[in-house]
Structure 1
Amino acid sequence: MVARIQIATAVLVREGLVLLAHRTPLREAYPDCWGFVGGHVEPGESPDQAVRRECLEEVGVQIHDPLPIPMTVDNPALDMRGFLVTRWEGEPVIAEPEEHDDLRWFRPGVLADLNLAHPENLLNILNAVQRATA
């Protein structure tokens, strides 16, 4: 049995808006679509450590108190761990332009209209955002 690829991703929420990064069209996996900040869990890292590192590398923010949220992925090769993040230091920017070509804040109600990397997570994301903003 082949080991699943571990992914850690952050759902950053500010003032009721959700941050998404647009993956460049040249990306091998899930090109030209919107996704959450995150990436591979490296050997020796926990998903919590990975999501902290990825947020710093990809958007230049140091996150605090990431809360686990359920994630579902249709790709059986992936093991995705999600984290809700409502506190961080710094202002998100595109820190890795070879990975992302746009960064935007979206109202949760429009997420279903976007070309998402993992649309199967939409309900879990909306529930987490609703809890965070309640």
Structure 2
Amino acid sequence: MSQLPESLREIVEEFAEVPEPQRLELLLDFSRELPELPERLADHPELFEQVVECQSPLFLVVEVATDEQRTTSLFFSAPPEAPTTRGFASVLAAGLDGRSAAEILEVPADMPQQLGLSRALSPLRMRGMSAMLARIKRQITEQINN
């Protein structure tokens, strides 16, 4: 877990400390904490990329600042009736929002499996979270290289 930014590492540790049967409930707690979209993005769905691998509609946009750290902001849109998808998005938002582009790019692709949810959730749902992380990294890379 050394490649995880501290904020994300703490979330992964929180999941590890919870008995396996209660990890899904922890994910649902996260789903209720997904930040609302700022007004400047809420009315502009064309700015978002859909993560089609998610079973429920999930859209995200990544903004990389031009500061020295390349501070990254993450924004997610998912319907309230998709708590698993919202939970995954909220974990990524809480763990990665405001971190540097370099820190996020170093997050291992298997980070979603580190939450210990693979027995509670279908492989399809787990692929959805992996796809969210991959899209975030791709958008960061594209913005850094432009």
TM-score relative to the length of structure 1: 0.37
Larger strand fraction of residues: 1
Q: Which has the larger radius of gyration?
A: 2
